[in-house]
Structure 1
Amino acid sequence: MTAALCTALLLTAVTTGAAVASGPHEERPPREAAALTGTAKLYRSAGDDITFTFDAHLAAEDNDDPLKATGTFEFSHYVNGEGARAQVAVDCLLTGGDVAVVSGLVTDSDLPGAEGERVGVTVHDRGRHDRLGYSWAATGSPAEGGELPRCVSSAPFEKVRKGTGDFEVVPWQPRL
């Protein structure tokens, strides 16, 4: 009987301690439905300075609608001091595994005619060997393109410059 009493007391102490440690009212916030974050420079043998930065998110409560994604992304491309940059307001985010496709409308740019145009980018998160593609690879300059649908881009054909890729993709898990 003494052994049974000691075992009961020990079990009570362990389970009570676990309840106190985790807190009776502590709730973990829901995981966001999808995300794409990070910055990288693209590799070009001619020395082009090309940078992409992402801060795109799909909230947990919007899991069924990737068109409710929020955030921004930016890109710039300069060669010998000439080039342009753009800031984009996210209007769609789809992710699967380690690949993300994000699109949005250009809100600020020094490329004449680019503001108000939709662009899309694809990222393949491969650790320090990330890859990237963009809609204007097939459609021409964002300032010259026609109406691009949301969440449309190209395959991630560009290589990220060694040591710069820190993209992180949170995979979408739609309810099917």
Structure 2
Amino acid sequence: MNRRTKTVAVAVAVLLTLGAGGIAAAAGGDTGHGDGGVREAAALTGTAKLYRPAGDDITFGFDAHLAAKDNKDPQAATGTFRFSHYKDGKGGYAVAKVDCLTTGGRVAVVTGVVTETDVDAFRNKRVGISVHDDGKRDRLGYSWVGRDTNLEVPPCLSSAPFEQVQAGTGDFHVLPWKLEYPTE
């Protein structure tokens, strides 16, 4: 396996592992789940495995939130996301601290700086992931696709959700961001 393939595999594995963290409650009582609390401005939660016919074990997990008080500042988002990619006993994982979250309808884009990993190429790097929560077969995209995977990723950016999750594994939940516009 060439070096680039190994790096991508490890990166995906890291993201997948991070997803195993599950869904956590938002800070400050922001919930968006109809329990009487203040609605969060935006959120992305859940886990899924990517579909790979060759048997790769690729997992992504999210626990990202934007509090109601930070509605106009997506870079105030908090939480973590994780990913991992393993095949034939080889691969890796990464955990990232969220530094931006934007959502619209059933699509979310989250970025974060990798704080824990066993893949040197991801250490202390910002990565971006996009999710399409279609309610049936979710989709996902990530920033480290293409020829130059060492690009600096700005906050709030990723690729289109080009990957399909494995049937029966996607439980992503995107809480749409509702911007408040001035009336005058």
Instruction: Give the alignment's TM-score, normalised by structure 1.
Output: 0.80
Aligned counterparts, 1:18-167, within 5 A: 28-138=36-146, 140-141=148-149, 145-167=150-172
Secondary structure class of the residue paired with 2:122: coil
Q: Is the 8 A contact 1:72 1:87 kept in 2?
A: yes
Secondary structure class of the residue paired with 2:109: strand
Secondary structure class of the residue paired with 1:61: helix
CA offset at residue 175 of structure 1? 1.5
Q: Which has the larger radius of gyration?
A: 1
Runs of 4+ in 1 over 2 A off after TM superposition: 138-141
| Structure 1: stretches of 5+ with no match in the other structure | 1-26
Q: Give the whole-Å Cα distance in 2 for the aligned partners of 1:173 and 1:139.
A: 35
CA deviations over 1:51-75 (Å, ceiling 9, x no partner): 0000000000000000000000000
Q: 1:172 aligns with which of 169, 173, 177?
A: 177
Q: Give the whole-Å Cα distance in 1 for the aligned partners of 2:121 and 2:134.
A: 34
Identical positions, percent: 62
Q: Which amino acid aligns with 1:119?
A: V
Give the paired residue count: 147
Q: Is the 8 A contact 1:128 1:166 kept in 2?
A: no
CA deviations over 1:10-48 (Å, ceiling 9, x no partner): xxxxxxxxxxxxxxxxx9321000000000000011111
